[in-house]
Structure 1
Amino acid sequence: MMSTAQWLLQISLLLWLSKGFAATQGKPGCQERCGDVDIPYPFGIGSAGCYFDEWFEVTCNNSTHPPKPFLKGVNLEVLNVSLDGTIRVNNPVLLSRNCSGKPSNHTQWWEGGPFSFSNTYTRFTAVGCSALAYFMQNDTVIGGCATICQMNVAITAKNASCYGLGCCQTQVPPGLLSFTANLGTYSEVSADEQEPCKYAFMVDQEWFISNVPDPHTVKDMEYVPAVLDWRIYNATCDASTSNLNTSTSFCGENTFCSTDTQTSSLICSCLPGHEGNPYLPQGCQGNIFYNHKTKCFLKIYFNYFQLLLLVFLSCAVIAIGVLGTLLSVLCAWWLYKVLKRRKKIKYKKKCFNRNGGLLLEQQLSSREGNVDKTKLFTSKELEKATDRYNENRVIGQGGQGTVYKGMLMDGRIVAIKKLKIMSDTKLQQFINEVVILCQINHRNVVKLLGCCLETEVPLLVYEFIPNGTLSEHIHGQNEEFPITWEMRLRIATEVAGALSYLHSAASVPIYHRDIKSTNILLDDKYRAKVADFGTSKFVAIDQTHLTTQVQGTFGYLDPEYFQSSQFTEKSDVYSFGIVLIELLTGKKPILSTRSEEWKSLASYFILSMERDRLSNLLDARVIKEGRKEDIDEIAFLARRCINMNGKKRPTMMEVAMELERIRKSQGDFRAQENSEEIEYNTTELIGPCDVTSTSTDSYLNTNAFSSSDV
């Protein structure tokens, strides 16, 4: 039992090692505050050395009282900065329609910078009667919402809410760096007579709930608060020391450095028990020592080396002579190794839980009778397979993550998808893709071999498909190995068979929800493999449709689904019809005309058939190699697939059978048009994909939306 003298000696040693500090947030000699707002490093005011780079430069406007800070790179007022990776700014109200004196800014573009709208805190919001608001990225609809209003009933503060009645909201995707917003109306009744002013904006959800009892008051505001995520780009942690407490790391001492190798970005945080600014060399200090005898906490400041020294000196006080000192050293070293091992195990367990391991196990166990066992790879296996994720091994990048080519220990060549940092939405998509692919067993669907959950972001391991995507072969045709008519017909038949299997033959029906030529891969024998099931859904056998947030790829998106938010099996049929037309014409789903207007390939295809000018639209190789009877039959089949009335489209089983019959007969049957099944009128030929732009840029202008557009 420790004597009073020994206890006092320990306390003296603790006090000797401790060193108080004045909490600092900015670099020495730099201004740390503007008005009522603290400006911590890597943000800064003043000379270049006060901030990390030009994106983090803050200017202080002293002409106001109190002074106001502004992010110089994006010209937005800073409301507050958090070192957990968020910054709150005053963001302009983006769009307005029939609102007197309110300008519209359709685009926000921060590519190349460290900022993105926060998926956790920020919401895309639209206010007004019959408002149709959505935002796009690279011509792809990535989010949106619509409002409804009862006729002759004014929206008042009493019944105002943001659940669709005069006001709607939707969550923004993670990592949103740039987008183009669109605002229109869809009601056949003149919505402008009910509530002419409509507007849309990005807003901090907590501020909106607490400070805006009536959403219609926002029309009088020029700016509303929004939350941005920020990261440090073009910097890496020192991997040789497990990213902890390194002098060569970008972060300071007593910090944890979390990296995203895909975007070459990082974020720093203080170790548990420490506080301060982790981006400064000695910004994180402090820890808590608990004395069981006095039942009180003593706050001291030390780094890891001082902690080891403290353990050593404490043991030396108790030990006697040289033997006691030696035992103290061994004790300290053993304690360090144990803590390090436990921390590594704890970190892997934390990653497993954060990446949905428990939820995935629950999903797989609930389908145990139908699902093959999925292999769980270790992080070491996949690091070795990809040569530590060498950039030379990258074979593709997309919205969900980066795909590497790798070789397993048994010699198998595989494709390893490294997902981006997970939000709740991305986590659900990841688990969804694993569960669905485990259940599918079809020669024309890419096979999932396993996954790894013990890393910072999840990893999926697929069979390697060597010959790229169908889109690459259609739109960037290789003269050395061109895609022939016979290959096109076979690929179409294989994809149709896979979708028919998903809809009708799987134990539980599955809707793919993102059929497009870039999601169709070609193996070593140029056989089709359907891929990317991140947005796919299981459907109850007696269920006819899914009501979901609209998402998909511009040009492939079913107009009926876009209008109703109800996804049916016929929505997959529409997307497949667009792929058929791509195979026939060699053209992309969205075309640019001579007048620089954007039109959908579907509309051109239908008009060409009605005017008997289909040959002008067909690919030259199709005309040269295909029999006219076969081309006509497939053209009529594609036209049936893209009927604006989903009930008049064939099922995927019917499509697959028809394509198989055409392959076998090779022209024995000439297509007959069924006037009832493929009846089109002028209204049906115009959909969300057909809206043209009258401006000089390449973005779609939907401010002129009317009921016929949708």
Structure 2
Amino acid sequence: MFDKDQLDWEVGSSALQGLAPGDERPGNETCPRDLGSNACHSTYSTCQATSAQYNTGYVCRCHDGYQGNPYLSDGCQDIDECSLPDKCFANCTNLPGKYLCQCPTGTFGNPYIQDGCIRSQGLIIGLGIGSGAMLVLLVLGATAITHKIKIRRKKKIRQRFFKQNRGNLLQQLVCQSADIAERMIVTLDELEKATNNFDKARELGGGGHGMVYKGILSTLHVVAIKKSKIVIQREINDFINEVAILSQTNHRNIVKLIGCCLETEVPLLVYEFISNGTLHNHLHTKALVSLPWIDRLRIAVEIARALAYLHSLVSMPIIHRDVKSPNILLDDNLTVKLSDFGASRYIPIDQTGVDTTVQGTFGYLDPMYYSTGHLTEKSDVYSFGVILIELLTRKKPVSYRSPQGYSLVNHFVTLLSEGNLAQILDPQVDKEGSGEVVDVALLAAICVKFISQDRPIMRQVEMTLESIYAAMEYRSSDMTDESD
């Protein structure tokens, strides 16, 4: 029947008597089945008891969240609330008969109103911290990778230099049938540790081409390490040449080469450490008195011994080519150690000399070699003669100029020939010396003759000095005995 007051369909029935108006029962389960059929045919519907002035019965309703005709089978359909306006202002999920409205992750508040969800400050901080931590990890990772690449690259460079330098070294030694023992190879890591990464405080001195550092090896040996400042092919050749020569020499007055490092572009040389500086340092001090004359004469003898050994007692003669006082090291007992063999050259046994590019130090340089480029053992004899003059006069061959503009050698020879030797002698030598001073001066003058053939060989120079020194020692001992 139709209730005109409610404007709704009502199914008349006495089955719902006893229920208060508005009470419900599920449509397909407990609604009355009058006339053998339930009027509420939809699954998602319910029957609601009614009570009016004229009748009693029920009406059908769709469940909340559904809409449609409950009197038809499947007449009630789910409502998609998420598609409706002003239902949800955040993340909306439609469910059967209902919907889920939630604020997005990282926010909180009321999702059912406009701008009701507020971002969490804690999350922002967390994300910031997390992002910062991630950035730190990325930086650390990149740094570690870069460090590994640098180490790998450095290792490859060291290996390349090692092969290159070792090949050059072995080529130098082939003609000598000599073997550069593995014990002489020192790693760059060892030398960096020995010198505290070549700390400036470890510098002993050096020139325009290189620096010498004091180092302590893992064996606790104190050493001097020669490192080149510049990288040119000549420097590389000189260092290789020095290793080749010193690896074959054994003389108490020649500095001992302990080893070499081939892992750098220019090899590093490792020598015994000589603690007392150079002859140049001892002679050219500001003090009025320098080395005693007897020590100077003994030093001259020892230099002569070392050069005579190089010229005549090794398997293939060696010309030092840069004999000068800065290259004469002295130990604590003032014993000579001849050093710096970078410019040295072998002279084949069947030859008297070789033609080379001129190398040496002006003031000590053989003028004949300088003008011809022909290097012989007499070039070392000339340089040694200059050292004798330096020991006698205590003047610097490189910078000395007489009032007339003469070099030290020319002025010395001129005064000697005029009988005025005393004018240029070191007053200390004049005071401490005797007749042997003139003998040494005459020997020096012969050594520095312009024509190389007019000079003696080093063996003759050595023997002459030995006899002069022996006579001086004998005379000194006699004077000591008389005083006793």
In the superposition, the TM-score normalised over structure 2's length comes to 0.65
SS in 2 for 1:609: helix
The alpha-carbon deviation at position 567 of structure 1 amounts to 1.1
Q: CA–CA distance in 1 between the matches of 2:349 and 2:291?
A: 38
Partner of 1:346: 156
The alpha-carbon deviation at position 362 of structure 1 amounts to 3.4
Q: Does 1:502 align with 2:283?
A: no
Partner of 2:123: none
Aligned length: 338
**Contact 2:186–2:261 (CA under 8 A) maintained in structure 1:** yes
**Contact 2:298–2:469 (CA under 8 A) maintained in structure 1:** yes
Structure with bigger gyration radius: 2
CA distance 1:482–1:345, shift in 2 (3 Å): same
Partner of 1:451: 260
Map residues 18-417 of structure 1 onto 2, 5 A cutoff.
342-353=152-163, 356-364=165-173, 367-369=176-178, 375-417=184-226
CA-atom RMSD in angstroms: 2.8
> Which one has the bigger strand percentage?
1
Q: CA–CA distance in 1 between the matches of 2:173 and 2:412?
A: 44
State the Cα deviation string for residues 508-553 of structure 1 (Å, max 9, x = none).
1000001111111111111111111111001101111111112221
**Contact 2:261–2:269 (CA under 8 A) maintained in structure 1:** yes
SS in 1 for 2:406: strand
Q: 2:428 aligns with which of 606, 610, 621?
A: 621
Q: CA–CA distance in 1 between the matches of 2:379 and 2:147?
A: 57
Which deviates the most, 366-375 or 561-570? 366-375
The alpha-carbon deviation at position 374 of structure 1 amounts to 5.2
Q: 2:446 aligns with which of 640, 653, 676?
A: 640
**Contact 1:630–1:667 (CA under 8 A) maintained in structure 2:** no
Q: CA–CA distance in 1 between the matches of 2:180 and 2:166?
A: 16
SS in 2 for 1:552: coil
Q: Does 1:660 align with 2:470?
A: no
Q: CA–CA distance in 2 between the matches of 1:621 and 1:340?
A: 59
Map residues 595-634 of structure 1 onto 2, 5 A cutoff.
598-627=405-434, 629-634=435-440
Partner of 1:469: 278
The alpha-carbon deviation at position 458 of structure 1 amounts to 2.5
Greater relative contact order (Cα < 8 A, sep 6+) = 1
Code of the residue aligned with 2:456 in structure 1: it is P
Q: CA–CA distance in 2 between the matches of 1:548 and 1:333?
A: 51
The alpha-carbon deviation at position 340 of structure 1 amounts to 6.1
**Contact 2:252–2:337 (CA under 8 A) maintained in structure 1:** yes
Map residues 400-549 of structure 1 onto 2, 5 A cutoff.
400-455=209-264, 457-476=266-285, 478=287, 482-549=290-357
CA distance 1:476–1:387, shift in 2 (3 Å): same
Code of the residue aligned with 2:440 in structure 1: it is I
CA distance 1:603–1:343, shift in 2 (3 Å): closer
**Contact 1:370–1:439 (CA under 8 A) maintained in structure 2:** no
**Structure 2 residue ranges without an equivalent (≥5):** 1-133, 476-484
Q: CA–CA distance in 2 between the matches of 1:407 and 1:425?
A: 29
The alpha-carbon deviation at position 370 of structure 1 amounts to 6.8
The alpha-carbon deviation at position 469 of structure 1 amounts to 1.1
Q: CA–CA distance in 2 between the matches of 1:540 and 1:650?
A: 20
Q: Does 1:552 align with 2:386?
A: no
The alpha-carbon deviation at position 410 of structure 1 amounts to 1.7
SS in 2 for 1:380: helix
The alpha-carbon deviation at position 651 of structure 1 amounts to 0.4
**Contact 2:447–2:455 (CA under 8 A) maintained in structure 1:** yes
Q: CA–CA distance in 1 between the matches of 2:148 and 2:182?
A: 34
Code of the residue aligned with 2:367 in structure 1: it is P
CA distance 1:563–1:343, shift in 2 (3 Å): closer
Code of the residue aligned with 2:442 in structure 1: it is F
The alpha-carbon deviation at position 624 of structure 1 amounts to 0.9
The alpha-carbon deviation at position 609 of structure 1 amounts to 1.2
Code of the residue aligned with 1:562 in structure 2: it is Y
**Structure 1 residue ranges without an equivalent (≥5):** 1-304, 310-329, 670-710
Code of the residue aligned with 1:462 in structure 2: it is Y
The alpha-carbon deviation at position 660 of structure 1 amounts to 0.5
**Contact 1:515–1:576 (CA under 8 A) maintained in structure 2:** yes
CA distance 1:648–1:338, shift in 2 (3 Å): closer
**Contact 2:323–2:380 (CA under 8 A) maintained in structure 1:** yes
The alpha-carbon deviation at position 371 of structure 1 amounts to 5.8
Code of the residue aligned with 2:284 in structure 1: it is H
Q: CA–CA distance in 2 between the matches of 1:464 and 1:508?
A: 27
SS in 2 for 1:591: coil
Code of the residue aligned with 2:418 in structure 1: it is R
Q: CA–CA distance in 2 between the matches of 1:582 and 1:528?
A: 16
Q: CA–CA distance in 2 between the matches of 1:632 and 1:336?
A: 69
The alpha-carbon deviation at position 380 of structure 1 amounts to 1.6
**Contact 1:372–1:439 (CA under 8 A) maintained in structure 2:** no
In the superposition, the TM-score normalised over structure 1's length comes to 0.45
CA distance 1:574–1:349, shift in 2 (3 Å): same
State the Cα deviation string for residues 124-162 of structure 1 (Å, max 9, x = none).
xxxxxxxxxxxxxxxxxxxxxxxxxxxxxxxxxxxxxxx
Code of the residue aligned with 2:261 in structure 1: it is C
State the Cα deviation string for residues 595-615 of structure 1 (Å, max 9, x = none).
xx6421111111111111001
Q: CA–CA distance in 2 between the matches of 1:624 and 1:648?
A: 32
Q: CA–CA distance in 2 between the matches of 1:528 and 1:387?
A: 29
Q: Give the % identical residues.
A: 48
The alpha-carbon deviation at position 373 of structure 1 amounts to 5.5
The alpha-carbon deviation at position 388 of structure 1 amounts to 1.5
The alpha-carbon deviation at position 334 of structure 1 amounts to 11
**Contact 1:360–1:435 (CA under 8 A) maintained in structure 2:** yes
SS in 2 for 1:599: coil
> Which one has the bigger helix percentage?
2
The alpha-carbon deviation at position 572 of structure 1 amounts to 0.7
Code of the residue aligned with 2:285 in structure 1: it is G
**Contact 1:374–1:438 (CA under 8 A) maintained in structure 2:** no
CA distance 1:650–1:383, shift in 2 (3 Å): same
**Contact 2:402–2:411 (CA under 8 A) maintained in structure 1:** no
Code of the residue aligned with 1:347 in structure 2: it is I
**Contact 2:172–2:241 (CA under 8 A) maintained in structure 1:** no
**Contact 2:235–2:266 (CA under 8 A) maintained in structure 1:** no
SS in 1 for 2:242: helix
SS in 1 for 2:400: strand
Q: CA–CA distance in 2 between the matches of 1:460 and 1:526?
A: 23
Q: CA–CA distance in 2 between the matches of 1:654 and 1:546?
A: 22
Q: CA–CA distance in 2 between the matches of 1:482 and 1:441?
A: 30
SS in 1 for 2:348: coil
**Contact 2:311–2:458 (CA under 8 A) maintained in structure 1:** yes
